[in-house]
Amino acid sequence: MPKLFALLFPSILLVTYALPNQRPSHDANIYEFNVADIDGNMVNMARYRNLVCLIVNVASNCALVDVMYQQLQALYEQYAANGLRILAFPCNQFFNMEPGTDEEIKRHVTAKYNVTFDLFHKIDVNGNETIPLYRYLKEKQPGYLPNGQIEYNFVKFLVGRDGIPRERHPPTTPPMQLDASIYKMLGP
């Protein structure tokens, strides 16, 4: 048994320290994470440092999609120059409403909604396959369901310039209703 431990211990240490950016800490912020964009490129979230971010799980076949994408794009156009970034994460966990590939999703939302904000790889927001960024968001802004579960498509997390999630809004909240909060976070 001691020999087995001696053989496994270095491997455990390597795994533990090889992925420090993927484990939230007490004072973590979104800048500690890496995520794949819709084109498959790894994105270090530190690229959003000192920006206000609206992070949303999206689905192309959801009844809310038209209003949500139109208003998300409108907010982006209104505030991008002042430091707002919108990060959309397609998710197929709610009634199979985002069944397409990343390429199909990108083609659809850019053609239909003229989306110019950042799109990311399709992810899971609940369960064992939840990406670390979403585990962190749910930990910091848990909402009303057990374990911070995301209740549906278009849950919105508003993240301050410091990378800390400050607000969580339910699927039914239209993005334009976040205008005052975004304006305040962007500051002068």
CATH code of the domain containing 167: 3.40.30.10
- CA 133 vs CA 4, 13, 32, 43, 103: distances in Å: 34, 22, 9, 12, 22
Whether 10 maps to a domain, the answer reads no
Whether 11 maps to a domain, the answer reads no
Residue range of the domain that includes 84? 25-186
Say what the pTM is.
0.86
Q: Please state the domain count of the chain.
A: 1
- Can you tell me the distance from the alpha carbon of 165 to that of 155, in angstroms, rounded to the nearest whole number? 13
Q: Does residue 7 carry a pLDDT above 50?
A: no
pLDDT at residue 6, rounded to an integer: 41
Whether 8 maps to a domain, the answer reads no
- Judge contact between 158 and 166, C-beta under 8 A: yes
Average pLDDT for the chain: 90
- Judge contact between 61 and 98, C-beta under 8 A: yes
The catalytic residue positions are 62
Give the H or E element holding residue 119: strand 118-119
Whether 20 maps to a domain, the answer reads no
Whether 18 maps to a domain, the answer reads no
Structure-model confidence comparison of residues 180 and 8, the more confident one = 180
What is the band of 188 on the pLDDT scale with cuts at 50, 70, 90?
Answer: confident
